[in-house]
Amino acid sequence: MDVTLTSASDGGSAQAMTRLDNLFDLARATTGFMPDNEGEALYLAAERAGATFGDSTFVEVGAWCGKSSVYIGAAAEKTGAVLFSLDHHHGSEENQAGWEHHDTTLVDVGTGRIDTLPHWRRTIVGADLELTVIGLVGDSPTVSSRWSTPLAFCFIDGGHGEEPAWADYRGWSPHVVMGGWVAIHDVFPDPADGGRPPYDLWRGALDSGEFVEDGECGSLRVLKRVRNG
Ligand code: SAH
Ligand code: MG
């Protein structure tokens, strides 16, 4: 793992380790778009945020079937934080029929639309994380525009088109407290590896002077707020 993140979980009780191993196993087995090593780095980044700010609040944008929710949820549970896991659960543009990341097993036969909410719920119930991971079902910009709770940690992995990605960054990053962290997924410096918008967000965050790099693993980039906008 090429992260600069270090785990505060080392030296935990045998029981705590078992719980974490269990959650990692569940996360690995959950349908989604998060390689195992990036998921563990995501856990470490969230755990650091939870340990730094007591009683804190996390948001993830883009939950799909709950894979990343379990990694972040594990960190929230360990540190006494609460994770609000946001998704309209109808999939992004790139998840729709005819696109690369479409999965016909996730289509609701009643509506003909993707519906990952039942899968997300099964994941969270199966992980016994219902008191720690709260689902927010709706459109990200609509929710962010009404949001007012300061965030210790925000994970951005929603729609990857230019408009939705920037809307997520502009809508959620202002809620991240000084010294808190934003993590962005699918940041690919080489355009041959993936779409531009997540990379552009990451660059924009650094160029703004509000955030500095503070950990990475694969396409996961972790940024720390050092200045208010
Ligand atoms: N983090 C997930 C993958 C997320 S895929 C994992 O670990 O597997 C991106 C998700 O963003 C999709 O589930 C899609 O429904 C959601 N999404 C896209 N645009 C959105 C919007 N405007 N509001 C809420 N969710 C959105
Ligand atoms: Mg992703």
Dump pLDDT digits (tens) for 54-83: 899 999 999 999 999 999 999 999 999 999
Is the CB of residue 61 less than 8 Å from the CB of residue 156?
yes
* pLDDT at residue 198 tops 80: yes
Q: Is residue 13 part of a domain?
A: no
DSSP 123-189: HHHHTT-TTTEEEEES-HHHHHHH--S-EEEEEE-S--SHHHHHHHHHHHGGGEEEEEEEEES---S
Ligand 1 pocket, residues with Cβ under 6 angstroms:
32-34, 62-64, 67-68, 86-92, 116, 139-140, 157-159, 164
Give the per-residue pLDDT at 94: 85
Give the per-residue pLDDT at 164: 97
Print the domain residue range for 107.
35-225
Give the per-residue pLDDT at 50: 98
Q: Is residue 10 part of a domain?
A: no
Q: Is residue 164 part of a domain?
A: yes
Average pLDDT score over residue span 193-199? 95
Catalytic residue status for 160: yes
Q: Is residue 18 part of a domain?
A: no
Mutation probe of ligand 1 site: the residue of 64, 71, 137, 184 with most atoms within 8 A of C-beta = 64
Overall number of domains in the chain:
1
Q: Is residue 201 part of a domain?
A: yes
Pick from 35, 22, 23, 32: nearest CA to 65: 32
Q: Is residue 182 part of a domain?
A: yes
CATH code, 111: 3.40.50.150
